[in-house]
């Protein structure tokens, strides 16, 4: 197996020829690290220091998705980029165990942003990743979830390209997919929901409030990112747009971590449930506008085909 020559992180042909046995050895090392981590042993304590990667004269940037939380949901390519990076700029929601996959010589720089407390505005992040790449470093910009899903990838891609820096995107498992897995339930169900809409519950200061109801026709699962604080507005907007108050809602917070929580309710109780259960971010809200749901006589009674209730903990295969 050979790395794509299109990747800015791809080593030279000479380095590839010298690498024995190549990518299979790397995969073996990654899986070994995961097994050690599961056993409570730090991979860095037993893994020999990796030599610096064979590097082209010019630096490069990889926007890498760290997935929803758990380290073993990282892709092999993401783990590979971490093992090659000279410097890693990582977000607030990246699990510390993911950072253990960076080579020991790599510099780790926290550039996290929290609502209402932003020490790292986007322009500053753009500037530091570009500056590092212009110094000839291999830069990993590590983002929770998928870089292209509400991850400010557009700004960072533009900054890299404006400075002539090679840049690539390494996709990650996005929160909506991970939520479906946590629930043991598909995001789409034949005869009930035949499309998924990804939307954000947040907007920039000065922007109009998103009209979530405009894209939520019967048969839609609406996956709302960063929507916890806007729950009352979201609830009112959707019901006003004709989404039944009895529609199923599933809220998953801290997905795939030992702090994971799942709450279920009907749309008409979304804000009250978040308040009573004290649910905070990071969380994703799934609202299922089932084709078979009807509000009868204004009572909010749920009438739908039996597709299984996500509130019940699914049986999980023990591998």
What secondary structure does DSSP assign to 251-283, as a single string?
EEESTTSTT-EEEEEEGGGHHHHHHHTT--SSE
Please give the backbone phi and psi of residue 157, each rounded to the nearest 5 degrees, phi first.
-60, -45
Torsion of CA 79, 81, 85, 88, to 10 degrees: -70
Beta bridge partners of 169: 63
SS3 198: strand
34 — phi, psi (to 5°)? -65, -40
> What Å distances lie between residue 183 and 113, 143, 229, 251, 255, CA to CA?
28, 23, 22, 10, 10
Catalytically annotated residue among 91, 126, 254, 290? 91
Cβ-Cβ contacts under 8 Å for 61 (sequence gap 6 or more): 8, 129, 130, 133, 139, 140, 141, 156, 160, 165, 166, 167, 168
Annotated catalytic residue: which of 44, 54, 113, 291? Answer: 113
Q: Known catalytic residue: 113?
A: yes
Please say whether the beta carbons of 108 and 102 come within 8 A. yes
**Which of 153-161's residues contact partners 24+ apart within 8 Å by CB, and which partners?**
153/63, 155/122, 155/126, 156/61, 156/63, 156/125, 156/126, 156/129, 157/63, 159/126, 159/127, 159/129, 159/130, 160/61, 160/129, 160/130, 160/133
Can you read off the two tokens belonging to residue 182?
Answer: 């946590």
Q: Which residues are catalytic?
A: 91, 113
């Amino acid at each position: 197996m050979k790395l794509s020559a299109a990747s800015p992180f791809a080593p030279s042909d000479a380095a590839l020829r010298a690498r024995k046995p190549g990518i299979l050895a790397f995969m073996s090392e990654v899986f070994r690290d995961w097994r050690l981590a599961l056993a409570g042993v730090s991979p860095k304590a037993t893994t020999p220091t990796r030599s610096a990667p064979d590097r082209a004269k010019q630096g490069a940037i990889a926007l890498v998705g760290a997935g929803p939380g758990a380290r073993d949901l990282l892709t092999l390519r993401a783990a590979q980029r971490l093992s090659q990076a000279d410097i890693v700029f990582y977000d607030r929601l990246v699990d510390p165990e993911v950072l253990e996959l960076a080579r020991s010589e790599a510099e780790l720089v926290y550039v996290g942003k929290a609502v209402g407390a932003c020490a790292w505005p986007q322009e500053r992040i753009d500037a530091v990743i570009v500056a590092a790449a212009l110094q000839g470093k291999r830069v990993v910009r590590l983002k929770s979830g998928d870089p292209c899903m509400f991850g400010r990838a557009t700004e960072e891609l533009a900054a890299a390209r404006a400075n002539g820096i090679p840049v690539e995107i390494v996709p990650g498992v996005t929160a909506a997919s991970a939520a479906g897995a946590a629930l043991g339930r598909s995001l789409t169900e034949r005869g009930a929901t035949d499309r998924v809409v990804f939307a954000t519950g947040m907007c920039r200061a000065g922007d109009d409030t998103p009209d979530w109801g405009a894209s939520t026709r019967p048969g839609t699962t609406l996956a709302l990112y960063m929507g916890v604080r806007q729950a009352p507005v979201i609830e009112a907007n959707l019901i006003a747009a004709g989404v039944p108050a009895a529609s199923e809602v599933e809220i998953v917070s801290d997905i795939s971590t030992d702090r994971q929580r799942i709450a279920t309710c009907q749309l008409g109780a979304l804000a009250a449930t978040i308040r009573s259960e004290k649910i905070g971010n990071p969380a994703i809200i799934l609202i299922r506008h089932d084709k078979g749901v009807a509000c009868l006589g204004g009572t909010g009674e749920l009438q739908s085909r039996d597709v299984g209730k996500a509130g019940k903990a699914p049986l999980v295969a023990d591998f």
